[in-house]
Chains A and B, each alone.
Chain A
Amino acid sequence: MLRSRGEVINPLVFFALVITLFPIGISPDPDLLQRIAPGLLWVAALLAALLSLDSLFRGDFDDGSLEQLLLAPQPLAALALAKVAVHWLLTGLPLSLMAPVLGVMLSLPAGSYGVLALSLALGSATLSLIGAIGAALTVGLARGGVLLSLLVLPLYIPVLIFGAGAVQAAIMGDGAGAHLAILGALLATSLALAPWAVAAALRISLNG
């Protein structure tokens, strides 16, 4: 993914652009924006992460290196996990570091930036893992992009609930610990299971 810089920058630009649209489209009123900011930031970050998913295996599929990965002596699940980790480092992590800046623009209260970044960092790792299953299932299809969002978005919803819930709780002053803990649990579960599903899906996509 590093070979094409645009794919790293694009989700970040998309994230900033979508967030810019909301104050223009809904209302620039700071009170209203503050109220809807957690959900807006999370939905926009989720869509930005989704945008980058299609390219996760696409390049390797097109130039044949995905087949080499399948033939490699290392277990395919481990290789898939490495690809997902790279994907997260290049999209999820930058997105979560950028979110507080956009939070300032949506007049999010000062105390919640840490929780926002942390919830996005934890949550986006889960999103990358789940999304990789969808990306692996659709990589062999000519027009997999729209189908990918249909497959992956329903599975994203629990992450969205607890991610936005964490920021909401931080704003209310309830303490976001419980929400962050569940995000961590979702991450641990998908970390344990998703690489196997990705490996199975890659085998299906390549063998017909």
Chain B
Amino acid sequence: MWAFIHKLGSPKWFYAISARLEPWFWALAAVLIVAGTVWGLAFAPADYQQGNSFRIIYIHVPAAFLAQSVFISMAAAGLVFMVWKIKIADMAAKVMAPFGAAMTFVALFSGAVWGVPTWGTWWMWDARLTSMLILLFLYLGVIALRGAFASRDGGARAASVLAMVGVINIPIIKYSVDWWYTLHQPATFSVTSRPAMPVDMWLPLLVMVLGFYSFFIALTLMRTRSEILRREFRKRWVRELFQEAR
């Protein structure tokens, strides 16, 4: 097991292993997302209160899940990079950041679209919404900080520190729902009250969530591999790889 993890830290091994894993995750993501979309949009029953508008949930909730998990994975990768100096971890952290920012934006945007029919407003200074906006700013900060450094290693380590500091904010963000002093607390759709939903409503949601996670893994593998090629193009194994292909 440890030998396997050590091998993963080597760009060459990671490139080879992820090349084998990547198609499976793409296939899994495609199957789950297509199945979840069709199931959720066409077959799941309409909500008794919100009608068909609740179907935004099938995009909104997976995106919101990913927005938070990607930040945590990014911080974990940053920690691995800082402690064990494993280059792959930093490459993964680098390619995760824009995807996490995009997912946060998707969650915010779909939430705003959903807000119009249910709350009658595009935006509300609700704790959940505000905290997601903060998360977006955190992502943008990490991306901007990495870009601001002239040296790649400096930017990598600075972004790792910021991601690790920022991850402390995630539980604060999560529990801000209970702390925020605003009097208006609009009813937010709570995932913890899953049994309150009928099975044929939350099962497609589960499929979508798993599909989004597979998509995240597949995309991270793919972009990490291209990042490996970009950084290691002078190494002999990369040259040999492309000479074989030619």
Measured CB to CB, the residues of A under 8 A from B are 130, 133, 137-138, 140-141, 144, 147, 150-151, 153-155, 157-158, 161-162, 164-165, 168-169, 182, 189, 193, 197, 200-201, 204-205, 207-208
Contact = CB atoms under 8 A, between A and B. Distances in A.
The A contact surface, by secondary structure, is helix
Q: Which 9 A-B pairs have the closest CB atoms?
A: A154-B137, A151-B141, A204-B157, A208-B154, A208-B151, A165-B181, A154-B134, A158-B172, A150-B141
A151 B162 contact: yes
A162 B179 contact: yes
A138 B148 contact: yes
The B contact surface, by secondary structure, is helix
Contacts of A168: 181
A133 B140 contact: no
A165 B183 CA distance: 12
A21 B82 CA distance: 45
Contacts of A144: 148
Given A147-B145, A158-B176, 6 more contacts: A133-B161, A151-B162, A154-B141, A165-B179, A201-B158, A204-B158
Interface in B214-233: none
A153 B145 CA distance: 14
B197 interface: no
Interface residues of B, number: 29
Contacts of B82: 200
A188 to B, nearest CB: 13
Nearest to A190: B168
Contacts of B138: 154-155
A163 to B, nearest CB: 11
Given A133-B165, A155-B169, A208-B151, A147 B179 contact: no
Contacts of B148: 138, 141, 144, 147
Contacts of B134: 154, 157
